[in-house]
Structure formats: C-alpha cells, structure tokens
Amino acid sequence: MKKLTGGLALMMALMVPTAEAINQEIRALFTPDPSQPQRNVFINKTPDSGYCATYPDECKQNNMFSIRIPVRFGPSSAIAPGTGVSVKAPANWRQLTVINRETGESETVEVRITGIGSNYILSDTAANLTGVTDSREGHVKLWGGQTWVYAAPPCVYSGVGAYTGATYRFFWKTPVEAPCTKVAAYRIPYMSWETLDFAYELRTPNPLGMSSGLYTGSMNYFLGPGGDFDIGGLNADDGNLTLDFVLDVQHTLKVTLPPGGNKVELVPEGGWQSWINEGRKPNRLFRDQIFHISASSRFKMMLNCPRYVMTDCVIDDSKSPRYGKVELSVTLPNGLTDTLGRPVKRRPLKRGTAGTLYFAPSFYVDRGNGILHFEILKDSTNSMLQPGVAGDYSGNLTVIWDSEV
C-alpha cells in the first residue's frame, strides 16, 4: 500500500501603505476691471474649506482665506499636569517661483500662513478627566482656566471655537512664527488631532508686467515634530504638504477705429484751395486718425507696407513713378508709457524690426483715445505736386498692435 503525501503552498503578500504627499491647489486670477482701472491685483479663486467655510463672516472681516487638510496627528503618550502642548505654523514670508507655461517667463510669489487650527480628540470626555459634569467647564478646567478658543501667545484669538464632550475645534491667528503653548492642568492619558486648517496670505507680482497665461509653481511643507506645521509635537499620518500655485493672467488688448477710420486722406492745412486756385504748394500733407485702445498688458506696435524707402512707407502715383514718403507717429492715452515710463506723444513708428515700439500700462486703460499721425513732409510734397500735372497717390499701411512681447 502506497502512502500518499501532499503539499500545500501558501503565498502571503505583505502590503505596507505608503504615504503620499498631500497636494492643494491655490489659484488666483487677474483680469482687468473697467470699473476699477487702478486696481491691478490678483483675486483669490481658491474655494474656502475648514474654518472660513464654516465661519465666513469671521474671515470676511479679516480678508482671510482658509483650507482644511485631511491629516491626523498622534496619538500622543500620556500628558502629565503642567505639560505644555504647542502648535506652530510657518508664519514667515516664503518665496517661490512661478513660471508661465507657454512663454517660460518667471515671477516671484510670496506666501505666509496666517492662521492654524485643528480638532483635538481626548482619550475621555473633558468632564470625566477633570471630575466635573459640564462639558464646557471640563474643557476650561483641563487647560487651567481657558478653552482652546482663546489662543496661547504669540498666537491671536480668531473668534470662534466648537466642542463636544471629548473634542475641541479651534483656530488661531499666527502673526509670528513661534510655538503657541497651552499647559494641561490634568492628566490626559492620550490625545490626537484630526484635520489641519490653515489660513494664508499671498504677495503676488504686478500683473500689468506679466504676459497672459498660467503661471505655476509649488511650495513644500513638512508636517510633524519640528516641521513647518507642528501640532503637539506629534507625527502626522502624512508628513508632506505641497501647495500648488496657479496664477491665471487674462489680459486685454483691444484696438478699434471709428467708422471709416481705416481710410485716411492726407490734405494740406486749410485744404486744397490755395494750391488749386493760386498754385501755392503746401508745406506738408497730414491727417490725425483717432483710435480707441483698451490695454492691461505690455504690447508692441509695428508697421508694415508693400512699398517703402528705407524705414518709411510710401504712397505711389498711379500714372507716374512719383511717390511720397509717409511719416507715421503715434500718441497714446494717459496710463500707457514707453519702457522707461515716459508718456508717448508723437513717437515715430517705422517699418522693420528696428522701428518696432514697445509700451506698457501703468494702470488698466479702458477705451482710451490714441492718435495715429500721418504726415508727408515738404520735400516729398514738392515732388508729388507739379503744376499742371495731375496725380493720384495711394498706398497701404498696416499698423499692428501685438501683445506677444
């Protein structure tokens, strides 16, 4: 009789969760506001969560924005009476670089954390830990006379707190970067903290000096003992927080001409009567053409034409080889300057790369009046106008306003 033997193989997979950094987007938008042309700032477009979502009036009064992160700190070991429990936030200004995704241009953004909050969870109710029956009284006695709605220096009171028997949600302003410490008056077997709320403030660059597009960059923070965010000196279940900043710049550059403004007739001062009736040649031919411009960004102006002499465009006589050189200059409304900040009045505009003009707004200009000055000077006027010889001069000049600087 044969003995049958068998084997059983067991395969076991050990799975260890890995912590991944928490990412939070902070988005701000600039778009010019015709009703407030002098207000050239970014508007925070990040939805509030946490403290400011729960107490919007408190935050509105202080122009404050908050975010809640789903992170847990602790639990702690036993906390003896007289032991301090601290919280600290990165309240100092820190710089990061944001880069335009299309142009590669870079700008500097500054950020600081102006408030910090969480929700502590006790091992038992505060009333049981302190030997009283009222929940609020328990939280008061547990910390030597004040609940966590009242900030420990150098943190500052923010206005509102919320509690249950064993929990207390608080939020403090952080004017300086230093630990803010509460001292326990009774023994706490252990405690933990769920969620991290923080308020932030941004310093953004002047959007009028930025190109349109999305500027992105990131700031990294460490959570835990000795880290950027430190609550109770406890480890966080996720020790990394990354704030991803997106600055959305949406500029306006719009130019319009009055009806018929695309056809420009050059005439002498006072009209043609002196030449027609008396044969007196005018010293020049000219016309000023108004245009309306709305601009919130840097831009350049260029001149193109099919017929030219050096850097000047010309108009031709349809019946002879004669021509006239057209001098073109531009005047821009108040608020638009050259790159040195000087007003723009009769600035010559020439064809070719060397003749390109560059301008920038000192504030948002909405439908300001600009002028294109067309002029044929005396030498060209003399050659164009011959006694007893008819002439019909015409030509095309293309003026380009371009925000791609």
Three-state SS sequence of 106-156: EEEEEEEEEEEEEEEEECCCHHHHHCCCCHHHHHHHHCCCCCCCCCCCCCE
Angle value at C-alpha 351, between 105 and 267, nearest 5 degrees: 130
pLDDT computed for residue 388 by the predictor: 67
Instruction: Give the model's pLDDT for residue 17.
Output: 37
What does each C-alpha distance from 85 to 79, 147, 155, 404 come to in angstroms? 9, 13, 13, 55
Task: List, for residues 122-177, the tens digit of each pLDDT value.
Answer: 999 999 999 999 999 999 999 999 999 999 999 999 888 999 999 999 999 999 99
Helix, coil or strand: residue 207: helix
The model's pTM: 0.82
Q: Is residue 261 pLDDT above 70, yes or no?
A: yes
Q: Supply the mean pLDDT for the chain.
A: 90
pLDDT reported for residue 279: 66
Measured distance CA(365)–CA(206) in Å, rounded: 15
* Average pLDDT rounded to a whole number, residues 298-310: 94
Q: Supply φ then ψ for residue 189, to 5 degrees.
A: -55, -40
Instruction: Kindly report the backbone phi and psi dihedral angles of residue 251, in degrees, each rounded to the nearest multiple of 5, phi listed first.
Output: -85, 165
* Residue 66 near residue 233, CB atoms below 8 Å: no
Strand spans (E) along 8-130: 22-30, 43-44, 65-73, 84-88, 94-100, 106-122
- ∠ CA 365-206-105, rounded to 5°: 110
Q: pLDDT tens for residues 5-26? A: 333 333 333 333 344 579 999 9
Chain segment 79-134, per-residue pLDDT in tens: 999 999 999 999 999 999 999 999 999 999 999 999 999 999 999 999 999 999 99
Q: Provide the pLDDT for residue 251.
A: 93
Amino acid, single-letter form, for residue 300: K
- Min mean pLDDT across 61-75, 216-230, 276-290 is at 276-290
So what's the pLDDT on residue 18? 41
The predicted structure's pLDDT at residue 82: 97
Give the whole-angstrom CA distance, residue 281 versus residue 123.
102
Residues 273-291 have a mean pLDDT of 81
Residue ranges of the chain that CATH labels 2.60.40: 253-402
**Nearest Cα to 40, choosing from 190, 223, 204?**
204
Confidence category of residue 3, pLDDT binned at 50, 70, 90: very low
Mind listing the pLDDT tens digit for each residue in 181-191?
A: 999 999 999 99
Task: Give how far Cα 137 sits from Cα of 86, 127, 132, Å.
Answer: 22, 7, 7
Give, in degrees to the nearest 5, the angle at Cα 219 between 214 and 223. 145
Give me the DSSP letters along 280-298: ---S-EEEEEEEEEEESS-
Predicted confidence (pLDDT) per residue in 330-370, tens digit: 999 999 999 999 999 999 999 999 999 999 999 999 999 99
CATH number belonging to the domain at 253-402, selected among 2.60.40, 2.30.230, 1.25.40, 2.60.120: 2.60.40
What pLDDT, on a 0 to 100 scale, did the predictor assign at position 276?
A: 66
Tell me if 198 sits within 8 A of 67, measured CB to CB: yes
